[in-house]
Amino acid sequence: MTNYKETLNILSALKLKGMSEKLEDKINAAEKRKMSYLSFLKSILEMEIEYRTQKRLKRNFAGAHFPVEKHLGNFEFKYCKGITKREIQGLLDFSFIDNHENVLLFGPPGIGKTHLSIALGYEALQSGYTVCFEKMNSLIKLLKTVDIQRTSAFRINRILKSDLLIIDEIGYTPIDKKEANYFFNIISELYERNSIIITSNKPFESWAEMLGDEIMTTALLDRILHHAHIFSLSGESYRIRKFKKSKKEV
């Protein structure tokens, strides 16, 4: 066996896949540039780190379960009142995640709440945080089946361990008392340990009605609002605006 093949086998036994992938190119480049042994060693170690970082990002992205990809780059702030580009940029140092604070986005349908929550989650992932996205009704389903379905238990476990949980669309579907209780329990578990982004079309005042229990809602809001960045968005639905514009152009 050649030296090169033996080296590849060793790298494979040590699970250093990042180093083995472009090893030949790296060796050729090093020989051409007459690189020092130390610089060569450093460059292939960096290659391994980069490979692992990319792999982790890919895994975290898949584990986030974003329903669609949305980015801050194509969010048109001029159409959305109640939040500025600067305020969103202020969140991008992710001290809100480090400090286990929450971000709440309120407003009518089509205003960009889901878009902003996914885009923030995506940026958080890029910065190395773990993120989980769940629509409120899926979260409730998971909580109800956690004892009988392994996939639900696995997902809830991931949610509890993630740095940031995005709960989208609180308020669209009413929930019963038992479900509200499950919801309260998970929020209590996450409180001051993880960070949550919540989107809702219902202001706090209607939450008690939605959750069916005033005392529990007060306790729930107490936890959610304790460390929270609150944005009340308003404006015309982006979809309707686009629809009107396209009709005018025809």
Q: Which of residues 211-250 bind ligand ADP (CB under 6 A)?
A: 238-239
Q: Does 217 bind Mg ion (CB under 5 A)?
A: no
Give dist(CA 124, CA 94) in Å, integer.
7
Alpha-carbon distances, residue 208 vs 87, 107, 129, 196 (angstroms)? 29, 18, 32, 20
- Whichever of 40 and 75 has its CB closer to ligand ADP, that residue is 75
Judged by CB under 6 A, the residue of 110, 182, 202, 219 near ligand ADP is 110
Judged by CB under 6 A, the residue of 102, 114, 162, 195 near ligand ADP is 114
Q: How far is the CB of 130 from ligand ADP (least distance, A)?
A: 22
- Whichever of 19 and 111 has its CB closer to ligand ADP, that residue is 111
Give dist(CA 219, CA 208) in Å, integer.
11
Q: How far is the CB of 113 from ligand ADP (least distance, A)?
A: 3
Judged by CB under 5 A, the residue of 20, 114, 130, 194 near Mg ion is 114
- Whichever of 16 and 136 has its CB closer to Mg ion, that residue is 136
Which residues make Cβ contacts (< 8 Å) with residue 96, sequence separation at least 6? 102, 103, 195, 229
Task: Compute φ and ψ for 233, nearest 5 degrees.
Answer: -90, 150
Q: Does 115 bind ligand ADP (CB under 6 A)?
A: yes
Q: Does 70 bind ligand ADP (CB under 6 A)?
A: yes
Q: How far is the CB of 239 from ligand ADP (least distance, A)?
A: 5
Give dist(CA 206, CA 220) in Å, integer.
13
N- to C-terminal Cα separation, the chain: 70
Amino acid found at 36: S
Give dist(CA 198, CA 134) in Å, integer.
10
Give dist(CA 106, CA 198) in Å, integer.
8
Q: How far is the CB of 114 from ligand ADP (least distance, A)?
A: 3
Task: Give me the count of residues in the chain.
Answer: 250
Interface characters, 170-189, with Mg ion (x: CB under 5 A):
--------------------
Judged by CB under 6 A, the residue of 64, 111, 146, 156 near ligand ADP is 111
According to DSSP, the residues that pair with 106 across neighbouring strands are 200, 232
Sole window of 59-67, 111-119, 150-158, 181-189 interacting with ligand ADP (rule: CB under 6 A)? 111-119
Q: How far is the CB of 80 from Mg ion (least distance, A)?
A: 13
Helix (H, G, I), strand (E, B) or coil at 231: strand
Q: How far is the CB of 242 from Mg ion (least distance, A)?
A: 16
Helix (H, G, I), strand (E, B) or coil at 177: helix
Amino acid found at 31: E
Residues binding Mg ion (CB under 5 A): 113-114
Residues binding ligand ADP (CB under 6 A): 70, 74-76, 79-80, 107, 109-115, 199, 238-239
